Copies of this chain bind each other. A is one copy, B any other.
Amino acid sequence: MFTNILNDFIKEVKKHTDLPVLLFPGNAMQVSNEADGILFLSLLSGRNPDFLIGNQVVAAPILKQTDLEILATSYLLIESGRETTASYISNTKPIPRDKPEIAMATALAGKMMGHQLVYLDGGSGAQHRVPDETIKQINKNVKSPIIVGGGIKTATELEAVYKAGATIVVVGTAFENDDGVLGSL
């Protein structure tokens, strides 16, 4: 049932763009062969083994049956002013926002494990976005593409995040509230 909804959604998206569609799965069930690739996430900011290896072992044999490009991703939750859904559901603590050196060491460990991407997330509807200093330190020391999301509410903030070193910036809640929020960008 869920898979059908996901498949239909991706098909609809693909009618409107030629860009590749990447899955950002919330759990091991959120897999669809209609997409082009999937972020294979390790929640490295946390210390919950379910999100470091448990779900990955369940997902791996399923993914092997698909044609999806698999993108090994260090997923780091960064403290953003209040408890987020991702932090609560995963039963993990985000990295303190005033400790960019911890985020950097964590992303570096992910790189040494073979991860191709870093995803820094303040969480859905974050109060504060990921600090520029965190992005800068990772950009300088880790040399992987960096995805940044959470709490980005204006075009000015979007530009600041790119300027700090982000490769891809994710805007969700702000668009849901007002799809003109970023102006003509």
Q: Which residues of A contact B (CB under 8 A)?
A: 40, 42, 44, 46-50, 52-54, 56-61, 63-64, 70, 72, 102, 104-106, 108-109, 111-116, 141
Contacts and interface: CB of A to CB of B under 8 A. Distances in A.
A7 to B, nearest CB: 22
A51 to B, nearest CB: 9
A183 to B, nearest CB: 38
A34 to B, nearest CB: 19
A56 B114 contact: no
Given A61-B108, A63-B112, 8 more contacts: A42-B113, A47-B49, A47-B54, A52-B53, A56-B109, A57-B109, A72-B113, A72-B114
A65 B42 CA distance: 25
A58 to B, nearest CB: 8
6 contacts: A42-B113, A49-B52, A52-B53, A57-B109, A60-B111, A60-B112
